């Protein structure tokens, strides 16, 4: 028997409709790419987004067609966002930090027909335009006076693109499972894979992301997403803010400490979100100029683990609550949130800090489990670690064009329907998850797993160590055993014995590295993380002393 409730498809246009009806005069403030601070309202964003829809329709865009943006967080990006999704076309946000060749590959793979871009990125567009096979219209997100000159292609000014179009157009009215957005994972190995969000997944994810224990924003909040709209929906904030009526502050192209600080203060921001590097820049700026935060209450930090120093600085020095978040593009992106539980509130300050350094607990709508190689669940004791699998209405089932398919339905899922995050994690008695390793980096020794990250975190504390990495090296008896690779500080010469003695007693005996190698420089990837792939390649023929002994 079916219920008798109304059919009200979960489509994202309803979010901006809600803002237009209930918060028409709430501001959206942008540090414009042209320079000045620009102010608009949800009412105006709604009307101009409708103009975007009409302009797209005039250019032949139909529901299901892909429209790309290569853009900062700005009011025009917000208009293009809702104008594209609202009509049932697919907004493909492209990450401008990728190499131009990757950007071209992605745009061709997505078969984008229109490319909206900020003038900052005109040189990239110029460079890739000859290689783009499907883009018919290049829209520079500015007015006619600021359109960059191009020798290669015709750039239309955004203001001319929408000018004269009607401020009403039909949005929604389609299946809530219709594709709304497309975002490619950067993928350290293999080609980028496209995650195709649906209207339903975006709406549900935004509602989950704004539960009181997650972002918890309301109409009296002022929200500054430093996290980019070009990657994983700006952590849902581009949906959450109009949904709940928060004033929205967008930083445009300037993410340095001074620029972000200025916006936080002048716009009276109460909630902000970004990756740790942004906060390092802000904290440095504030310390250098002896500044305070007068309105900020909460900061969400994710993308990579929150460094303890950043956590302590916000909470202890500035009185700002840190919300540690974890997720991934394939999860829309939020998977877990480090909001404290009553059990944590009963602990002392240091224990709370340690709890906050974990990645947090699952949102409602996210099912999370840790399993061994055979898929059997591991206990939630904060010690046992396993592959982290997730499931939910905002978790990917397949990649665009069936990239990375693992079954004949084109899905990228485990046999039980869960998505493998590629992370290895523990979950403690309170349900709080902590990433301990990437699955491909974990060392499998005698059927048991050793966390490379745990050993690295200890080794970097030893005298004379600038950086440390641990990888698994083949072993005839144990399958793999840990090899510690150390980059000494300039002039330092730590010995194998000193380093092992330092680690001894801090980890289980059988986790102890079988050998230590000093290298001049540990290779880092584009995001500053240790490039384990390169290290494994470097040491693929390395013979451990213990391996020789076992042979």
Q: Which of 35, 64, 123, 187 binds a second copy (CB under 8 A)?
A: 64
> CA angle, corner 361, sides to 355 and 366, nearest 5?
165
Would you give the end-to-end CA distance of the chain in angstroms? 67
By CB under 8 A, residue 243 contacts a second copy: yes
- Is residue 223 near a second copy by the rule CB under 8 A? no
Is the CB of residue 139 less than 8 Å from the CB of residue 114?
yes
Per the CB < 8 A criterion, the answer to whether 376 and 369 are in contact is no
Q: Does 18 bind a second copy (CB under 8 A)?
A: yes
Shortest distance (Å) from residue 37 CB to a second copy: 19
Buried b / exposed e along 522-544 (16+ C-beta atoms within 10 A): beeeeeeebbbeebbebbeeeeb
Q: Which of residues 101-130 bind a second copy (CB under 8 A)?
A: none
Give the number of other CB atoms < 10 A from CB of residue 462: 18
Task: Closer to a second copy by CB, 68 or 462: give it.
Answer: 68
Options 103, 196, 516, 522; binder of a second copy; rule CB under 8 A: 196
Crossing angle (nearest 10°) for helices 237-244 and 199-209: 70
User: Please, which of residues 506-535 interact with a second copy by CB under 8 A?
Assistant: none
Cα–Cα distance list, 522 to 191, 453, 518 (Å)? 25, 15, 9
How far apart CA 79 and CA 45 sit, in angstroms, is 6
Among 130, 212, 490, 493, binds a second copy (CB under 8 A): 212
Cα–Cα distance measured from residue 129 to residue 357, given in angstroms and rounded to the nearest whole number: 44
Q: Which stretch binds a second copy (CB under 8 A): 6-14, 70-78, 99-107, 495-503?
A: 6-14
Scan residues 337-396 and list those touching a second copy (CB under 8 A): 339-342, 345, 361-362, 364-365, 367, 391-396
How far is the C-alpha of 31 from the C-alpha of 369, rounded, in Å?
41
Smallest distance from the beta carbon of 277 to a second copy, in angstroms? 28
Number of residues in contact with a second copy under rule CB under 8 A: 73
Asked if 427 contacts 382 with a C-beta cutoff of 8 angstroms, the reply is yes
Q: How far is the CB of 18 from a second copy (least distance, A)?
A: 5
Binding residues among 405-464 for a second copy as defined by CB under 8 A: 413, 417, 419, 431
The residue (of 123 and 218) whose beta carbon lies closer to a second copy is 218
Stretch that binds a second copy, among 78-86, 241-249, 254-262, 503-511 (CB under 8 A): 241-249
Contact criterion met (CB below 8 Å) for 301 and 277 = no
Phi, psi of 473 (to 5 degrees): -120, 140
Q: Which residues contact 102 (CB under 8 A, 6 or more apart)?
A: 192
The nearer residue to a second copy, 83 or 257, going by C-beta atoms, is 83
Point out which span in 72-80, 94-102, 213-221, 318-326 binds a second copy (CB under 8 A): 213-221
Q: Which listed residue (1, 130, 415, 493) binds a second copy by CB under 8 A?
A: 1
247 binds a second copy (CB under 8 A): yes
Q: How far apart are CB 212 and a second copy at their closest, in Å?
A: 4
Among 28, 110, 122, 180, binds a second copy (CB under 8 A): 180
* Residue number, 27 or 441, with CB nearest to a second copy: 27
Question: Minimum distance between the CB of residue 90 and a second copy, rounded to whole angstroms?
Answer: 7
DSSP 87-135: TT-EEEE--TTS-HHHHHHHHHHHTEEEEEE-GGGHHHHHHHGGG-SS-
Should residue 4 be labelled a site residue for a second copy when binding is judged by CB under 8 A? yes
CB of 48 to a second copy, least distance (A): 21
Q: Which residues are catalytic?
A: 185, 330, 444, 449
Task: Give one DSSP letter per residue of 498-540, joined into a string.
Answer: HHHHHHBTTB-GGGS-SEEEE-S---B-TTSSB-HHHHHHHTT
Return the number of the residue (205 or 475) whose C-beta is nearest a second copy. Answer: 205
Q: Which of 258, 280, 274 is nearest to 224 (CA)?
A: 274
- Verify binding: residue 216, a second copy, rule CB under 8 A: yes
Q: Does 195 bind a second copy (CB under 8 A)?
A: yes
For 485, phi then psi, to 5°, come to -115, 125
Q: Which stretch binds a second copy (CB under 8 A): 160-168, 184-192, 397-405, 517-525?
A: 397-405
Instruction: Give the nearest distance from C-beta 56 to a second copy in angstroms.
Output: 15
DSSP β-bridge partners for residue 480? 474
Using the minimum distance from each CB to a second copy, give the nearer residue, 129 or 195. Answer: 195
Which of 60, 101, 167, 177 forms a contact with a second copy (CB under 8 A)?
177
DSSP 282-344: HHHHHHHTT---SS--EEEE-SSPPPHHHHHIIIIIS--EEEEEEE-GGGSSEEEE-PPPHHH
Should residue 200 be labelled a site residue for a second copy when binding is judged by CB under 8 A? yes
Q: Which stretch binds a second copy (CB under 8 A): 95-103, 208-216, 259-267, 442-450?
A: 208-216
Site for a second copy (CB under 8 A): which residue of 201, 272, 436, 445?
201
Strands 479-488 and 515-518: parallel
Structure token pair of residue 519: 């290298």
| Whether 193 contacts 185, CB under 8 Å | yes
Binding mask 280-319 for a second copy (x = CB under 8 A): ----------------------------------------
């Amino acid at each position: 028997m079916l219920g008798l409730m109304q059919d009200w498809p979960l489509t994202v246009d309803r979010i901006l409709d809600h803002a237009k009806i209930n918060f028409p005069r709430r501001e959206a403030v942008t540090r414009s790419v042209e320079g000045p601070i620009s102010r608009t309202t949800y009412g105006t964003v709604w009307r101009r987004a409708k103009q975007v829809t009409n302009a797209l329709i005039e250019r032949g865009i139909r529901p299901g067609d892909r429209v790309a943006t290569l853009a900062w967080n700005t009011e025009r990006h917000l208009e293009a966002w809702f104008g594209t999704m609202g009509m049932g076309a697919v907004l493909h946000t492209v990450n401008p930090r990728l190499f131009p060749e990757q950007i071209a590959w992605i745009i061709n793979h997505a078969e984008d027909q229109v490319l909206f871009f900020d003038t900052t990125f005109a040189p990239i567009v110029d460079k890739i335009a000859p290689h783009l096979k499907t883009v018919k219209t290049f829209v520079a997100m500015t007015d006619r006076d600021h359109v960059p000159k191009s020798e290669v292609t015709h750039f239309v000014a955004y203001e001319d693109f929408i000018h004269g179009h009607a401020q009403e157009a039909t949005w929604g009215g389609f299946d809530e499972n219709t594709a709304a957005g497309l975002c490619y994972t950067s993928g350290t190995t293999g080609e980028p894979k496209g995650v195709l969000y649906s209207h339903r997944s975006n709406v549900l994810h935004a509602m989950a992301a704004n539960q009181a224990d997650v972002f918890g924003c309301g109409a009296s909040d002022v929200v500054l997403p430093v996290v980019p709209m070009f990657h994983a929906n700006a952590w849902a904030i581009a949906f959450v803010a109009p949904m709940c009526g928060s004033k929205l502050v967008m930083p445009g192209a300037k993410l340095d400490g001074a620029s972000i600080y200025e916006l936080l203060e002048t716009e009276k921001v109460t909630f902000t979100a970004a990756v740790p590097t942004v906060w390092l820049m802000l904290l440095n700026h504030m310390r250098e100029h002896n500044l305070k935060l007068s309105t900020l209450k909460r900061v969400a930090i994710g993308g990579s683990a929150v460094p303890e120093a950043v956590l302590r600085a916000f909470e202890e020095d500035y009185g700002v609550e840190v919300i540690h978040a974890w997720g991934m593009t394939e999860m829309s992106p939020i998977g877990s949130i480090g909001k404290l539980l009553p059990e944590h509130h009963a602990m002392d300050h240091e224990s709370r800090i340690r709890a906050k350094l974990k990645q947090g607990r699952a949102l409602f709508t996210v099912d999370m489990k840790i399993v061994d190689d055979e898929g059997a669940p591991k206990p939630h004791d904060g010690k046992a670690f396993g592959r982290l699998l997730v499931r939910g209405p905002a978790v990917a089932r397949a990649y665009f064009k069936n990239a990375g398919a693992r079954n004949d339905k084109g899905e990228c899922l485990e046999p039980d329907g869960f998505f493998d995050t590629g992370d290895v994690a523990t979950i403690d008695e309170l349900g709080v998850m902590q990433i301990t390793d990437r699955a491909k980096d974990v060392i499998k020794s005698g059927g048991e797993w050793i966390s490379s990250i745990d050993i690295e975190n200890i080794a970097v504390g030893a005298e004379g160590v600038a950086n440390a990495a641990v990888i698994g090296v083949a072993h005839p008896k144990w399958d793999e055993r840990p090899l510690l690779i150390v980059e000494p500080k300039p002039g330092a010469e730590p010995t194998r014995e000193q380093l092992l003695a330092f680690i001894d007693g801090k980890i289980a005996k059988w986790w102890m590295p079988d050998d230590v190698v000093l290298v001049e420089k540990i290779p880092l990837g584009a995001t500053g993380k240790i490039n384990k792939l390169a290290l494994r390649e470097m040491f693929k023929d390395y013979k451990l002393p213990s391996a020789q002994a076992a042979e």
